[in-house]
Amino acid sequence: MPSPYRALFDVPGTKAFSAAGLLGRMPLSMMGIGVVTMISQLTGRYGLAGALSATIALSAAVLGPQVSRLVDRHGQSRVLRPATLVALVAAAGLLLAAHFRGPDWVLFACAAGIGAVPSLGAMIRARWAALYRGTPKLHTAYSFESVMDEICFVFGPIVSIGLCTVWFPEAGPLLAAVFLAAGVCWLTALRATEPAPHPRERHGGGGTALRSPGLQVLVATFVATGAIFGSVDVVTVAFADERGHKGAASVVLALYAAGSCAAGAVFGLLRLAGAAERRWLLGVAAMAVSMIPLLLVGNLPLLAVALFVAGLSIAPTMITTMSLIEEHVPRAQLTEGMTWVSTGLAVGVALGSSLAGSVIDAAGARAGYGVPVLSGAVAVVVGFLGYRRLRRPAAGRGGTVEQHSEREDERREQHLA
């Protein structure tokens, strides 16, 4: 591991909470694709599979920010375990209903309950922010966590799809639930690095972080970005299935995440000059353009190459997004702010997976790749329209790492003068 990353773990407890976060985030990449694979295996209905995955994502979009707001007020240890228990009970209900061919409404009700799952990525990033806010180490920490996210997406789909297709259809989502339970129990036991809670009276009545105009732009753009991710997952499974190699979809999707992982690891070592919002908009545009070649591929090897290249723009864009959240959201609402971006992604995943499933049922898998292309175009348009809001951070926000450095330089110059 390069020394800037190794230096992150000089503080006692950082290795433990990072490992717990990695374990608890595995369901992020396993549950949705596992449900798609499970339902398609049991029923052959990709439309239903995509709709259930969309329901999980939409429910997480509604419940996730509320869970994170409670975490900001009361602390991680008091909130995460009850929320996780609700999600686990709902997951168990979904698996039982699918196995015993229960009615569709039961499947959807259980899928909605899974949305109570906490945003473990936001919880871990909040711990890093509490340790390294205002220092260059925070950029490295966010980069490291983006790499961890992508490691989940490298191995999660392989494990989930592989278990569903080789062992039994419910195996992938079942293991995802086990990972969630273990990760949350481990993380909430680590009290020493837990950020201090901020009760409502400490930050002016407890208004939502979404009031920030800059955060609104980030969330709206990531709805379209999430539609890219959700549709690519569903269409890739169907694309591989049409060619008689459904299990290979996990490897192809893993390469998509591997491209992002590699780019994130390199990006974390860089100290880039210039405005973060400009890099963010460039990253969104790169993600959109990288979807176009998917319409042209005709076999799995070419699809794997195209997705690996497409993945190179993901992690740098996500890392820059976390930096922008620091700039536009009050510190006392940082966990909620990060979760709102995840919420935007979840809504997009829901829309993208549902629309892609319908397109696949109607016109086949190859036509389904038109959904991520269209979603990328929408993301670019929304990003451009909201760019001015990102250039005007509200007073009293945390500020990005770059801005903290610039402010320190200004203070030094004034002192010398």
H helices of 189-299, in order, are 213-242, 249-267, 276-289
Q: What token pair was written down for 410? A: 């200004």
Q: pLDDT value at position 52? A: 85
Model confidence at 210, pLDDT cuts 50, 70, 90, reads low
Model confidence at 378, pLDDT cuts 50, 70, 90, reads very high
Q: pLDDT value at position 393? A: 54
| 114-144 tens-digit pLDDT | 888 888 888 888 888 888 877 778 878 888 8
Out of 176-185, 193-202, 279-288, pick the least confident. Answer: 193-202
Question: Up-side HSE of residue 153: CA atoms within 13 Å toward CB?
Answer: 25
- pTM (predicted TM-score): 0.70
Distance CA 150, CA 314 (A): 9
Out of 127-131, 236-240, 387-391, pick the least confident. Answer: 387-391
Q: Which amino acid is at 244?
A: G
Q: What token pair was written down for 395? A: 């007073």
Question: Up-side HSE of residue 272: CA atoms within 13 Å toward CB?
Answer: 19
Distance CA 311, CA 316 (A): 10
Q: pLDDT value at position 186? A: 93
What would the mean pLDDT of 193-211 be, rounded to a whole number? 64
Q: Report the chain's mean pLDDT, rounded to a whole number.
A: 80
Q: Which residue has the higher pLDDT, 288 or 35?
A: 288
Confirm if 56 and 115 have CB atoms less than 8 A apart.
yes
Out of 38-47, 266-275, 303-312, 368-377, pick the least confident. Answer: 266-275
What would the mean pLDDT of 292-308 be, rounded to a whole number? 89
What would the mean pLDDT of 154-175 be, rounded to a whole number? 80
Phi, psi (rounded to 5 degrees) for 84: -65, -40
Model confidence at 290, pLDDT cuts 50, 70, 90, reads very high
What would the mean pLDDT of 221-244 be, rounded to a whole number? 86
User: How far are the Cα atoms of 7, 270, 287, 324, 325 from residue 137, in angstroms, in the given order?
Assistant: 8, 11, 26, 16, 16
Confirm if 217 and 394 have CB atoms less than 8 A apart.
no
Model confidence at 203, pLDDT cuts 50, 70, 90, reads very low
Distance CA 75, CA 65 (A): 14
Q: Which residue has the higher pLDDT, 163 or 303?
A: 303
Among residues 319, 313, 260, the alpha carbon closest in space to that of 128 is found at 319
Model confidence at 292, pLDDT cuts 50, 70, 90, reads very high
Q: Which residue has the higher pLDDT, 402 or 321?
A: 321
User: How far are the Cα atoms of 242, 300, 309, 375 from residue 305, in angstroms, in the given order?
Assistant: 19, 9, 6, 21
Q: Which residue has the higher pLDDT, 379 or 266?
A: 379
Kindly tell me the burial class for residue 8, based on how many C-beta atoms sit within 10 Å of its own C-beta (0-12, 13-18, 19 or more): buried
Domain 13-195+210-416 falls in which CATH fold? Growth Hormone; Chain: A; (1.20.1250)
Out of 35-39, 95-99, 377-381, pick the least confident. Answer: 35-39
Residue 264 has pLDDT above 90, yes or no: no
Residue 257 has pLDDT above 50, yes or no: yes
Distance CA 252, CA 306 (A): 10
Residue 33 has pLDDT above 80, yes or no: no
Out of 140-149, 203-212, 268-277, 343-352, pick the least confident. Answer: 203-212
**Angle value at C-alpha 339, between 77 and 46, nearest 5 degrees:** 110
Q: pLDDT value at position 323? A: 77
What would the mean pLDDT of 364-386 be, rounded to a whole number? 89
Model confidence at 93, pLDDT cuts 50, 70, 90, reads very high
| 399-417 tens-digit pLDDT | 444 444 443 344 333 333 3
Q: Which residue has the higher pLDDT, 226 or 330?
A: 226
Q: What token pair was written down for 106? A: 């039961």
Model confidence at 331, pLDDT cuts 50, 70, 90, reads low
Look at the block and give the residue holding tokens 């293991």.
175
Q: Which residue has the higher pLDDT, 406 or 319?
A: 319
Q: pLDDT value at position 400? A: 42
Distance CA 156, CA 67 (A): 24
Confirm if 243 and 363 have CB atoms less than 8 A apart.
no
